[in-house]
Amino acid sequence: MTSYSRRHVLRSVAAVAGGVAAAGYGGLPLAGGTGEMALAAASGGRRGTYPFLEGAFAPVRKEVTAFDLPVTGRVPQELNGRYLRIGPNVLGLEDPRAHSWMRGEGMVHGVRLRDGRAEWYRNRWVRSAAVAEKLGESYPGPVPDGDYACNTHVIAHNGRILTLLESGPLPYEIDGDLNTVGPYDFGGTLDGAFTAHTKLDAEAGELHAVTYSPIWDHVRHLVVDQTGRVTRTTRIPLAGAPMMHDFALTKRYVVLFDVPVTFDPEAAAAGHPVPYIWNDQHPARVGVLPRAGGAARWFEVPRIVYSHTLNAYDDGASVVVDLTTFPAPFYPAGRGTGGPGSAGTPSLDRWTIDLARGRVRTSRLDDRPQEYPRVNEALVSRRHRYGYSAAAAEMFQAYQTVDGVPPDRTFTNALIKHDLIRGTSEVHRFPRHAAASEAVFVPATDPGHRPAASDRPAAEDDGYAIAYVHNPDRNASDLVILAAQDFTGRPVARVHLPARVPLGFHGSWVPDA
Q: What is the pLDDT of residues 382-440, one digit of tens each?
A: 999 999 999 999 999 999 887 777 787 778 999 999 999 999 999 999 999 999 999 99
Q: What pLDDT sits at residue 2?
A: 34
Cis peptide before 242 (omega within 30 of 0): no
For range 127-134, the mean pLDDT = 98
Amino acid letter for position 127: R
Does pLDDT of 32 surpass 50? no
Mean pLDDT of 151-172: 97
Residue 133 has pLDDT above 90, yes or no: yes
User: Using CB atoms within 10 A of its CB, is residue 423 exposed (0-12), middle (13-18) or buried (19+)?
Assistant: exposed
State the pLDDT confidence band at 35, using cuts at 50, 70 and 90: low
Among 92-101, 338-347, 498-507, the range scoring the smallest mean pLDDT is 92-101
Nearest alpha-carbon partner for 287 in 276, 296, 278, 275: 296
Tell me how far apart the alpha carbons of residues 10 and 268 are, in angstroms, rounded to a whole number. 9
The mean per-residue pLDDT over the stretch 32-49 comes to 53
Which residues are within 8 A (CB) of 378 and not within 5 positions of it... i.e. 6 or more apart?
Answer: 202, 443, 447
pLDDT tens track for 426-483: 999 999 999 999 999 999 975 444 444 455 678 999 999 999 999 999 999 999 999 9
For residue 222, is pLDDT > 80? yes
Peptide bond into 144 cis (omega under 30): no
DSSP state of 402: B
Do residues 499 and 20 touch, judged by C-beta distance below 8 A?
Answer: yes
What is the pLDDT, as a whole number, of residue 110? 98
Could you tell me where the beta strands, DSSP code E, fall in 327-444? 330-331, 341-342, 347-354, 359-366, 371-374, 386-391, 413-419, 424-430, 440-443
Q: pLDDT band for 173, please (50, 70, 90 cuts).
A: very high
Sign of CA dihedral 34, 58, 83, 367: negative
Closest CA to 366 of 351, 350, 385, 347: 347
pLDDT of residue 49: 81
CB 500 within 8 A of CB 470: yes
- What's the rounded Cα separation, in Å, for the pair 301 and 362? 8
pLDDT at residue 446, rounded to an integer: 54
Distance CA 319, CA 52 (A): 36
The one-letter code for the residue type at 353 is I
* pLDDT band with cut points at 50, 70 and 90 for residue 99: confident
pLDDT at 14: 47
Q: Where are the beta strands (DSSP E) in 271-376?
A: 276-278, 285-290, 297-300, 305-315, 318-326, 330-331, 341-342, 347-354, 359-366, 371-374
| CB of 236 closer than 8 Å to CB of 258 | no
Cβ-contact 505, 438 below 8 angstroms: yes
For residue 456, what pLDDT is reported? 64
For residue 29, count other CB atoms closer than 10 A to its CB. Answer: 11
DSSP state of 202: T
Average pLDDT over residues 146-151: 97
Mean of all residue pLDDT scores within the chain: 90
For the cut 80, the answer to whether the pLDDT of residue 284 exceeds it is yes
The model's confidence at residue 507, banded by pLDDT at 50, 70 and 90, is very high
Q: How many Å apart are CA 127 and CA 133, to the nearest integer? A: 9
pLDDT at 46: 54
Edge to edge, the sheet with strand 248-249 lists 248-249, 253-258, 285-290, 297-300
Please tell me the distance from the alpha carbon of residue 57 to that of residue 47, in angstroms, as a whole number: 13
* Ordered DSSP codes for 261-272: EEE-HHHHHTT-
**Residue 142, CA distances (Å) to 147, 250, 486 in order:** 10, 38, 50
Sorted by where each starts, the structural domains of the chain and their CATH numbers stand as: 3-511 (2.120.10.30)
For 451, residues 6+ apart whose C-beta sits below 8 A from its C-beta are: none
pLDDT, residue 20, reads 23
Dist CA 22 CA 115 (whole Å): 26
Total length of the chain = 513
- Name which of 251, 246, 207 is nearest 230 in CA terms: 207
User: Of 28, 126, 33, 121, nearest to 82 (Cα)?
Assistant: 121
DSSP code of residue 68: S
Biggest CA–CA distance in the chain, Å, is: 67
Confidence grade of residue 42 (pLDDT, cut at 50, 70, 90) = low
Q: What confidence score (pLDDT) does residue 457 get?
A: 77
% of the chain exceeding 70 in pLDDT: 88
pTM (predicted TM-score): 0.91
